[in-house]
Amino acid sequence: MRGHILFAVALVLALLLAWRLLAVLELVYVSALFAVVLMPAVQRIMQLKIRRWSPSRPLAIIALVLTVVVLLTLFLRLGLPPVLRDLKNFAEDLPQRIPVLVAKIKRLPVADKIGVDSLAERSENMVSSTAQYLLASAPLWLSKVFDLVAGLILCVYFMLEGEFAYYYFLSFFHPKSRERLARTLLAADVRMSKWLLGQGSLMLILGVTSTIVFSLLHVRYAILLGLLMGLFNIIPVAGGVFTILLAAGAAAIDSWQKMVGVLIFYAIYTQIENAYLTPRIMRSSVNLPGLAVLIALLAGSALAGVVGALVAVPTAALLAVLIDEYVVQKDTDEPEDALPEEG
């Protein structure tokens, strides 16, 4: 009885401590997750051979970190200013552009039935407030630089010493169940890494292609719309529908021809992605259902904001593997002669 009481008290104290250190635990979890995802890249670098020499793990990690830092620097230096400029112009031009778009919509036969005036007023207020919020919250995002640096350092340490922590974690389990857990976590590692790499490739392809096409069509805010197309591609179906409607609306402000061009581009790209890109890029990974991805993104953003949404889908992949291994009941012991005969 005394041991049970002490265990209960220790458990309550541990939960209280975890609640107080929630921000730190969140940072540790995100860093560990990124370390798991990036380790295949580190192992690829370690397999490179220059004559008889191969880079060690510390050198491979340094090379990977430098590559990521250079890419982020190029994005912040070259990619972010045009996006912020388009966002600012969008917020400033919206009050003048919406009446023009409304006047064009009123010429349609069904304009009276859908209540264009009230719908336009609500859309103007919502989009204006959203754009102003994004501009106002930009300094807040930049203030998270310390968390970014701390997360980067933790991620490097996890890649260097993560195996020791991993085997120490496994030592808490009975030897009979330890092998099964290790095999399951390895499968989850492969699934998270391949899913993230494949989905990131699809997002990059759509973002770059959309930006090029919108620029050729002279659509306003082409860079901003291309970035949104790429980012929202992580949300199955709904993300693409939302962004293409936004891009078509921006194009319709100038002319119906541009809007038709945007819609034709998206229709062609959807066919190419479904028939060619997705089967080849995602063929080696186990895709999550669209509903699971959407629920994971909503839950992650509600729990931890942007950071939670960032790690939501890899976490969902990890949970899916664990649930499939330990919860789902599989009919593996059913004899073959028990199956119903055809005819």
Task: Give burial (CB, 10 Å; 0-12/13-18/19+) of 30.
Answer: buried
Residue 50 DSSP class: B
SS3 label, residue 194: helix
SS3 label, residue 88: helix
Residues 55-110: tens digit of each pLDDT: 888 888 888 888 888 887 887 777 777 777 776 777 666 666 666 666 666 666 55
Place of tokens 């529908």: 241
Q: What is the pLDDT of residue 343?
A: 40
Which of 156, 282, 266, 167 has its CA nearest to residue 209? Answer: 266
User: d(Cα 124, Cα 116) in Å, to the nearest integer?
Assistant: 12
How wide is the angle at C-alpha 180 spanned by C-alphas 175 and 181, nearest 5°? 90
Q: How far is CA 298 from the centre of its chain?
A: 12
Phi, psi of 209 (to 5 degrees): -65, -45
Q: How far is CA 204 from the centre of its chain?
A: 12
Which of 44, 73, 60, 76 has its CA nearest to residue 156? Answer: 60
Compute the Cα dihedral for 80, 202, 145, 304 and give only its sign: positive
Average pLDDT per consecutive 10 residues, the chain (343 residues; last block may be shorter): 81 87 83 82 84 85 86 76 73 64 60 51 54 55 68 86 83 84 84 77 88 87 84 76 82 82 89 79 63 80 73 82 80 51 45
Q: How many CB atoms lie within 10 A of CB 240?
A: 18
Q: What is the pLDDT of residue 264?
A: 92
Q: What is the pLDDT of residue 242?
A: 81
Q: What is the pLDDT of residue 342?
A: 46
Average pLDDT for the chain: 76
User: d(Cα 219, Cα 225) in Å, to the nearest integer?
Assistant: 9
Q: How far is CA 131 from the centre of its chain?
A: 21
CB 31 within 8 A of CB 155: yes
- pTM for the complete prediction? 0.64
CB 298 within 8 A of CB 236: no
